[in-house]
Amino acid sequence: MENGNYWRGNFCLEVSPTPDILVIFGASGDLARRKLLPAIYNLFRRELLHGDSHIVGCARHDYDTASFRELLRGVLPPAEPEQLEAFLQRIHYLRGDYGDPESYRQLGAKLEELGKLDAAMPLNYTFYLATPSSLYLTIVPQLSAAGLLKEDFEGTPWRHVVMEKPFGRDTASAQELDLELHRYLKERQIYRIDHYLGKETVQNILMLRFANIIFEPIWNQHYIAKVEITAAEEIGIGRRAGYFESAGLLRDMFQNHMLEMLSMVAMEMPGEFSADAIRDEKLKLIRAIRPFPQKNLETVLVRGQYAAAGDLAGYRQEEGVAAGSTTETFVAAKLLIDNWRWRGVPFFLRSGKRLKRRLSEIAITFKAVPHSIFQPIRAQDMTPDTLVLSVQPEEGMSLTIQAKQPGPKLCMGGLMMHFNYAELAGGESFEAYERLLLDAMLGDQTLFIRSDIIAASWRLFTPVLEAWRNPECCPLELYPAGSSGPSGADRLTEWREL
Ligand code: BG6
C-alpha cells in the first residue's frame, strides 16, 4: 500500500509554538549532544520552533558560541546547509560554574539581551537540567536567587524547569528533593521527564484505548488473561558504572519507565485529554497496585545480575564495578491491581541489561473462548488472541487472532495483523525527545511526571529496596550475559520469547 493510503481521516490537534529561550545546563554532555540538540533541530526543521526562539547552552566546558556552533555542525543530522546555518544562528553558549552566582548574573544578562533582539512579545524561559541530578539543588536555588524563575503573572511569561530522573532514590529522599524544589518552583513549573512517555507506541496507548470502541469493552478481567511488559536491553552498563552501582535496575527502569507503561495500559479513562485528568488516573492506578509481600518476596519478584558468558564480560568485570557487587541488572515481577477492572489479572514486568536482544513491548493476552464449536480443537488448544504494542526497536502494533488458513481443509491458527510506525512515516522515525521538548516549550505537562506520582511509585518500591538489604531475603540470581535472564524469572510466568 502506498504510504499515506493507510489513513482514513486524519486530525491534528493544533500546535502553536510560543517564543521561548531554551537554556540547557550540561550542554556539552552526552545527553545534550546526542539527544536534545538533534531533537530541537528537528523541531526547527518541522517549523515547530517559534521563529523568535533561542537556545542557550551552559556548561563548565571551555567553549564559546562560535566553537559550540562548530561542534554542533558535526553532530546535527545532515540537512539543507542553509537550514542548518539558520538554526545555528539561534544557538548561544555560556561557560559557567553551576555554583557561582556570577554565572547566573551573566545568564540573566544574556537572556535579557536575546529577549530584546527580535521578539514581539516577552519570551518564555525553559531551563533544561541535563546534568547529574545531584546538581539540581545547586542550579535551581541559583536560578531563583538570580530572579530567573520569577513570573510576572501566573505563567506569563513562564519559567519552566525540565529535569531528568532520578527523582530521589527512595521515598524519603524523593520527598526531601520535592520539598526543596517546591521552595523555588510551583508544581506547574516542574517538568519531570520520563522519555518512555515520548515514544510513539506509548503515546498511542491513549488513542488505542480511548478513541476506539472495540478495545475498551474487553479491556478488563473478564477478557484479559495476563499482561506482560518487557524492556530488554542488549547493552550492558557501558561507562555508567558510577551511576548504576548505586542505582540498580529497579530504580533505573522499574520505578519510572516500567510503571509509566503499566499505568498507561491499566488506568481508567480520564474525563478529558488534559494533563491533570490523565495524571489523576495514573496516580489512582499506581495506588491500587497491591504492595509487595513482606514474606516470600522472591515468589513475586526476581532479581538477577549478568555473569560472563562467551566474549561478554559479566557485570562484576565491568570497569568501575565492585568485585563483589550485588547490584541487580535484571528484575522480573508479578503485580496485581486491586480494583474492579483488574481483579486477578497478573501483570508481569521484566527488564534487564545484557539480554539476548533489545526489545520493549507490552503484550496483552486475552482469555480463550468459553467453548469451541470446532471440535476436536479445544478452546485451550487455540493460540490465545494477543495484542502486542511494540515499543522498540520496531514501533508498532500487532494483533494475533484465530483465523482459517486458506485451502480446502479446515485448518486454523493464530494470524497476525501488523503495522509499524516507520512504514507509516515513510521510513522516518521520531525521537521521544522531540515530542517531550515540544511539550515542555508549549507548557503541556501531560507527558511529564507529577510529584504525587513519583511519591506513589517510591511507596511501592521502597519496601523492596529495604527487603533486599536483608541478606536472608531474595537471592541475586546470576544469568549468562546475552541470555534471556535468570531462570528464576520463569517461576513467575511463561514469558514471551525474547
Ligand atoms: C534510561 C536508563 O532511563 O533508559 C538506561 O537510565 C536505559 O539505563 C535507557 O538504558 C533505556 O532507554 P531506551 O530508550 O534506549 O529504551
37 Cα–ligand 1 center, Å: 18
User: Look-up: residue for cell 521520531?
Assistant: 430
Does any ligand 1 atom lie closer than 6 A to the CB of residue 200? no
Helix (H) or strand (E) holding 386, with range, is strand 386-392
Tell me the C-alpha distance between 463 and 460, whole Å: 7
pLDDT value at residue 4: 52
Whose Cα sits closest to atom 14 in ligand 1? 196
Pocket of ligand 1, candidates 167, 252, 258: which has the most ligand atoms within 8 Å of its Cβ, to mutate? 252
411 Cα–ligand 1 center, Å: 43
- How buried is 211 (Cβ within 10 angstroms: 0-12 exposed, 13-18 middle, 19+ buried)? exposed
Whose Cα sits closest to atom 9 in ligand 1? 253
Distance set, CA 389 to CA 103, 197, 234, 342, 373 (Å): 46, 14, 20, 19, 30
Pocket of ligand 1, candidates 201, 253, 258, 357: which has the most ligand atoms within 8 Å of its Cβ, to mutate? 253
> Do residues 187 and 167 make contact, with C-beta atoms less than 8 angstroms apart?
no
User: How many other β-carbons are positioned within 10 Å of the β-carbon of residue 61?
Assistant: 15
Pocket of ligand 1, candidates 195, 261, 327, 430: which has the most ligand atoms within 8 Å of its Cβ, to mutate? 195
pLDDT value at residue 119: 67
Distance set, CA 94 to CA 90, 118, 159, 417 (Å): 14, 20, 19, 52
Question: What average pLDDT does the segment 153-168 reach?
Answer: 90
Tell me the C-alpha distance between 269 and 6, whole Å: 27
Question: What average pLDDT does the segment 38-56 reach?
Answer: 93
- Give 384's pLDDT tier (boundaries 50, 70, 90): very high
| Sheet (strand 91-95) strand order | 91-95, 54-59, 20-25, 124-129, 159-163, 190-192
Question: What average pLDDT does the segment 39-62 reach?
Answer: 93
330 Cα–ligand 1 center, Å: 13
Nearest-atom number in ligand 1 for the CA of 252 is 6
Does any ligand 1 atom lie closer than 6 A to the CB of residue 252? yes
Whose Cα sits closest to atom 8 in ligand 1? 252
Residue 437: phi and psi, rounded to 5, are -65, -40
Q: Is the pLDDT of residue 421 over 90?
A: no
Whose Cα sits closest to atom 10 in ligand 1? 233
Tell me the C-alpha distance between 282 and 448, whole Å: 12
Question: What average pLDDT does the segment 462-469 reach?
Answer: 96
Nearest-atom number in ligand 1 for the CA of 194 is 3
pLDDT value at residue 5: 63
Which of 58-72, 185-199, 368-382, 428-442 bottoms out in mean pLDDT, i.e. has the lowest? 428-442
Paired sense of beta strands 224-232 and 359-366, if any? antiparallel
Nearest-atom number in ligand 1 for the CA of 235 is 10
Residue 85, SS3?
helix
User: Look-up: residue for cell 499505568?
Assistant: 263
Question: What average pLDDT does the segment 11-18 reach?
Answer: 77
Q: Is the pLDDT of residue 486 over 60?
A: yes
Which has the closest alpha carbon to 45: 430, 317, 399?
430
Does any ligand 1 atom lie closer than 6 A to the CB of residue 233? yes
- Give 19's pLDDT tier (boundaries 50, 70, 90): confident
Tell me the C-alpha distance between 492 and 226, whole Å: 12
241 Cα–ligand 1 center, Å: 14
440 Cα–ligand 1 center, Å: 20
- Give 195's pLDDT tier (boundaries 50, 70, 90): very high
Does any ligand 1 atom lie closer than 6 A to the CB of residue 439? no
What average pLDDT is seen over the chain?
A: 93
pLDDT value at residue 363: 98
29 Cα–ligand 1 center, Å: 16
Pocket of ligand 1, candidates 233, 245, 306, 318: which has the most ligand atoms within 8 Å of its Cβ, to mutate? 233
Question: What average pLDDT does the segment 470-494 reach?
Answer: 96
Marked catalytic residue, from 50, 160, 195, 257: 257
**Tens-place pLDDT, residues 316-367:** 999 999 999 999 999 999 999 999 999 999 999 999 999 999 999 999 999 9
Question: What average pLDDT does the segment 234-255 reach?
Answer: 95
Going by C-beta distance under 8 Å and a sequence separation of 6 or more, which residues neighbour residue 451? 178, 182, 187, 190, 192
370 Cα–ligand 1 center, Å: 41
Which has the closest alpha carbon to 360: 487, 200, 212, 152?
200
Nearest-atom number in ligand 1 for the CA of 392 is 16
Nearest-atom number in ligand 1 for the CA of 231 is 16
Which of 234-243, 417-426, 451-460 bottoms out in mean pLDDT, i.e. has the lowest? 417-426
pLDDT value at residue 410: 87
Name the H helices within 190-291.
200-210, 241-247, 249, 259-266, 275-288
**Tens-place pLDDT, residues 92-134:** 999 999 999 999 999 999 999 998 887 677 889 999 999 999 9
Distance set, CA 223 to CA 104, 164, 214 (Å): 57, 37, 13
- Give 16's pLDDT tier (boundaries 50, 70, 90): confident
Residue 257 is a catalytic residue:
yes
pLDDT value at residue 325: 97
472 Cα–ligand 1 center, Å: 31
Going by C-beta distance under 8 Å and a sequence separation of 6 or more, which residues neighbour residue 401? 385, 414, 415, 417
